[in-house]
Amino acid sequence: MLTQDILNALKGYAANMQKTVTFVLQTGEHSKREELKKFLSDVAGISDKIQLEERDTNGVLRSSVSFLLEADGEDTGIRFSGIPGGHEFNSFVLAMLHASGTPLKVDDSVKGIVKGVKEELNFEVFISLSCHNCPDVVQALNQFALLNPNITSEMIDGGLYQSLVSERDIQGVPSVYLNGELFANGKVDASTLIDKLLERDPSLKQANAGQSLPLQDVTVIGGGPAGVSSAIYSARKGLKVTVIADRFGGQVKDTMGIENLISVPKTTGPELVGNLAEHMKDYDITLKEHVRVESIEKGNIKTLTLSSGEQIKTKTIIVATGARWRELGVPGEKENIGNGVAYCPHCDGPFFKGKDVAVIGGGNSGIEAALDLAGIVKSVTVFEFMPTLKADQVLINQAEKRENVTIIKNAATKQIVAENGKVTAIEYQDRATDEVHSLPLAGVFVQIGLVPNSQFMKGVVDLTQHGEIVVDNKCKTSEPGIFAAGDVTTVPYKQIVISMGEGAKASLSAFEYLLAHEVEDEAESQAA
């Protein structure tokens, strides 16, 4: 499982460990226990700062394929139930390094919120090792545990705990439980967790009350290709730049295959996001991650209020918040998210192995999802609202070759049917005959396009009826000093390469605006 190359790489990471980390493995019998023991033993062998100890934890750990991390003999609150391979290997390595003293890359405002938690919070995160979104949640909660001794976090591999998955009717990952009750599931990220903590205890915001950065030249809202491009171009002009991102990478992070980014023949969303982050580190850019902009006060100096309670004053703003998956808006959809309704075939596809599922949407995303699922599930039925498919012909050809893929066009989804908390069928109307049909199935994957993330800009700048921010050919909005770029705007063709170019353009426009406008902070002016 761990090659010598991986172990050598880990040895380099472990060279700067400050505390001794002990993997405490629960005693007992399990068919996977020896595999887990060897995995942990191999890692422990790379450094004298890492130890493996088998111990009866008297119920602290779930089973004999569970282990926890101690740092200098103290329980860190981090637990893993299962072998953290696949996408969770990074979660395991980061947990080990952070427990040993490697600084956490968490914004101070987020630290303040987490450290302020007074009650005991025991998180369980059900994951699939093939899920590329799950590690974000596991890693965030592991960091929460390290920041606050009142918090514990346990990664649970659903594949090894099928009875528990069945008992809790889990049909999608990540599924996060808090103190035994469902806390969040489906599309979850660190900012969602922070939001839910603040909903649970609004007083946690007080940790950041009154905190603010120095006056910024440019504040970029959004951490996807357009946002990062804007930030880098702005920093290269010598400007003070802050990036606010509830989820760095945005929609791109969920894209597994990227083959149309010119000069990069093939990459994946996570790889591209990693490259964006590394490139941005080359510049003096402040990143505030896992927080959202709640409101914007217009004016010569603009004031942004964040979900963390902080405020940022800035001369210009570039909005690059991208878009999110569009929902069907039919009965049974929202009620069954995580229980048969899903938006990410890569994450949730394995839960439907050998079952019948549907994909709603005949564009590129829909057909790609069908092709992805076809290798896992028993059958895939694609429903397209229009009489013809919108996907590229090369994808359509691939789908038509698959024996277990059926395409139904000119079909309107009426409702998603569920029984006992699980999806059992989809009802759809033949738009040519108006006849309503029912198709028995276990899962529905919604792939019908995107909705711009612009809600917080309503009343600040002009929006179209679809919620897109109206921009001119220089990315200017209706409000002086506020610019916008990428999928959140009226610019056609939502593509990564276009978003990057628009981000650069927005930055240059903001720079041009700053040259032409004397923007001064009133407080600084009075002090002078």
Catalytic residues: 344, 347-348
Phi-psi region of 470 (alpha: psi -120 to 50; beta: other; left: phi over 0): beta
Q: Residue 70 is which amino acid?
A: E
What 3-state class would DSSP assign to 352? helix
DSSP states of 274-315: HHHHHHHTTS-EEEEES--EEEEE-SSSEEEEETTS-EEEEE
- Rounded Cα gap, residues 347 and 326, in angstroms: 18
Phi then psi dihedrals of residue 461, to 5 deg? -135, 170
- Rounded Cα gap, residues 17 and 39, in angstroms: 19
Across 161-174, b (16+ Cβ under 10 Å) vs e yields: beebbeebebbbbb
- Rounded Cα gap, residues 336 and 315, in angstroms: 44
- Rounded Cα gap, residues 312 and 212, in angstroms: 6
Instruction: Give the single-character DSSP code of 410.
Output: S
- Rounded Cα gap, residues 385 and 448, in angstroms: 10
- Rounded Cα gap, residues 33 and 54, in angstroms: 11
Chain length of the chain: 528
- Torsion sign (Cα): 184, 188, 189, 191: negative
What 3-state class would DSSP assign to 15? coil
Q: Residue 378 is which amino acid?
A: K
Distances (CA, A) of 345 to 55, 132, 247, 460: 39, 11, 20, 36
Distances (CA, A) of 400 to 215, 359, 393, 394: 57, 15, 10, 10
- Rounded Cα gap, residues 181 and 487, in angstroms: 36
| CB-count burial class (<10 Å; 0-12, 13-18, 19+) for 115 | middle
- Rounded Cα gap, residues 193 and 134, in angstroms: 13
